[in-house]
Structure 1
Amino acid sequence: MELTEQAGAQWKQALDTAMFTVVTVFAAYDGESYADIPTVQRTVGFIPRETREERERRTYAVSDFAAMLGVRSIACHIGFVPEDAADPDYVAVRDLVRRICDHAASHDQTFALETGQERADVLLRFLADCARPNLGINFDPANLILYGTGEPIEALRTLAPHVISVHCKDGDWPPKDTPGALGSERALGEGSVGIGRFVRTLAEVGFRGTLNVEREGAAPGEWLKDVDEAVRLLKRLTAATAQI
């Protein structure tokens, strides 16, 4: 999609007409593939060197487009952050993220990194190293399970002060007999996240943002049904949590 001023005006008009509120504009990039973990490592986010510069420019354009819509947050998967802070890719991506944060700040926007592809402690150190006040987390509990990087409730408690937004998504752990495989996404409430505990923990750590349903793995005919049921489930869970 071309992120032009004309496209921004058309989207803004359509959203206003539908009375639809966008809380985050998420950046995705040509050439990304989520087929399995090795493919994600090679293709996703800012880690691949050959696409890094182009994707940085695209992210600036996404920030500008979000500003046209009046949206105050952008987000993306930055890829598998190396654990070694001296790794050249770590340094390059850290500096790139700083530049994106500074660009987003010119629009009074936050920039959220989506969880899943690294452990919570690695992500926490990376946030501190980037040292940008408008940098935070889009917390997706299912991704931690799908990538096998950590227990989501524990990770949420670790990252809670930095959580800007959340995805309500569910899934199961990767199969132990298939190295490199991702886990499987499930309809909300049918996977291993423990969505009731997740919603309660969000309340406990003081999160007051929107609960954004993400459903990617369903067949076209099931997608709307799964989203509708997820909304109903979240309404029941938030009502029950409010009574505790």
Structure 2
Amino acid sequence: MRVGVVVGLHKDTDLKEKFSELREMGMESCQLVCWDRTLLNEETAALVKQAVEEEKIDITAFWCGWEGPRTWNFYEGQETLGLVPAAFRFQRLQMLMEGSDFAKLIGVKNLVTHVGYMPENPYDPNYQGVIICLKELAAKCRENGQNFLFETGQETPVTLKRAIQDIGLDNVGVNLDPANLLMYGKGNPVDALDVFGEYVLGIHGKDGCYPTDGHELGAEMPLGQGRVNYPAFIRKLKEIGYEGDITIEREISGEEQKKDILMGKKLLEDLIAAE
């Protein structure tokens, strides 16, 4: 298991500089995240490929956002996040399809996104609508030689596994963010591996706490300072045979972010190296 970091792709991003910084931090992989639909084109892809070639960075996944409102809480979030809100579903599916084509242009095999608060009731009409949409997206990814990965957090592990089974294609998996499971109050990440471990194709290295009220997510924390039991989590990943990367995500900015990333990198590498 290698340790990498999440890199954001924006209009003003100098990827060569970003990737050079990763190299200086002792990393050789990342997940590339983009929420700007106007960047999903051949010109941007050429810049990405040039930066990858020059700095020798592996992009293990393309994390594709979607257009429209988004509120990361338990109330407005139900109405705005992912493919679950019917009002935004078609528009967002189109952007994710474009994201799959962009990932193909840059040679990336995993497409990741948040699907939203999927209903736990499989008879909920909205659940079936999302599954139909995801079948189209997964089929598009398959045409492009890719996997589609659910970013965990907004659905329970059982709901997520059911959705993968109901989509019914062999290129659908999980990008497991252990902190998100806690911050959304949906499950314990170590135990979740018993539910959907065989589908895990990517990992975020992030930490956080359980929610303390019914409106807002739990707090994100520096890796090792939240409620994710990383020693047990890494042991469990080894038990199930996970050999992919762990990509650190620290959702703050500035020097504190870099400090926390380096601290998290050391913690993870020490745990990975332990017997």
- 1:205 lines up with 2:240 in the alignment: yes
Q: Which moved more, 1:166-175 or 1:82-91?
A: 82-91
- 1:232 lines up with 2:266 in the alignment: yes
In 2, distance between residues paired with 1:145 and 1:41?
17
The Cα shift of 1:34 comes to 3.9
- 1:180 lines up with 2:215 in the alignment: yes
In 2 relative to 1, CA 169–32 (structure 1 residues): closer, same or farther, beyond 3 Å?
farther
The alignment's C-alpha RMSD in Å is 1.2
* 1:142-153 aligned within 5 A: 142-153=179-190
Q: Give 1:238's aligned amino acid.
A: I
State how many pairs are aligned.
238
In 1, distance between residues paired with 2:71 and 2:88?
16
The Cα shift of 1:39 comes to 2.1
The Cα shift of 1:233 comes to 1.0
- 1:165 lines up with 2:202 in the alignment: yes
Q: Give 2:86's aligned amino acid.
A: R
In 2 relative to 1, CA 233–34 (structure 1 residues): closer, same or farther, beyond 3 Å?
farther
In 1, distance between residues paired with 2:203 and 2:109?
15
Percent identical among aligned pairs is 34
Alpha-carbon displacement from aligned partner over 1:58-93 (angstroms, at most 9, x marks no partner)? 001111101111000101000011122222211111
The Cα shift of 1:29 comes to 1.6
* 1:60-209 aligned within 5 A: 60-175=97-212, 178-209=213-244
Aligned to 2:208, what secondary structure does the other structure show?
Answer: strand
Contact 1:119 1:150 in 2 (8 A): yes
- TM, length-normalised to structure 1: 0.94
Show the counterpart of 1:16: 53
Show the counterpart of 1:29: 66
Show the counterpart of 2:4: none
Q: Which moved more, 1:29-38 or 1:60-69?
A: 29-38
In 2, distance between residues paired with 1:108 and 1:4?
18
Q: Give 1:31's aligned amino acid.
A: G
In 1, distance between residues paired with 2:44 and 2:214?
43
Aligned to 2:59, what secondary structure does the other structure show?
Answer: coil
The structure, 1 or 2, with the larger RCO (C-alpha pairs under 8 Å, 6+ apart) is 2
In 2, distance between residues paired with 1:155 and 1:180?
23
> Following TM superposition, where does structure 1 have runs of at least 4 consecutive aligned residues deviating by more than 2 angstroms?
30-35, 218-221
- TM, length-normalised to structure 2: 0.84
Aligned to 1:138, what secondary structure does the other structure show?
Answer: strand
In 1, distance between residues paired with 2:63 and 2:69?
14
In 2, distance between residues paired with 1:134 and 1:202?
20
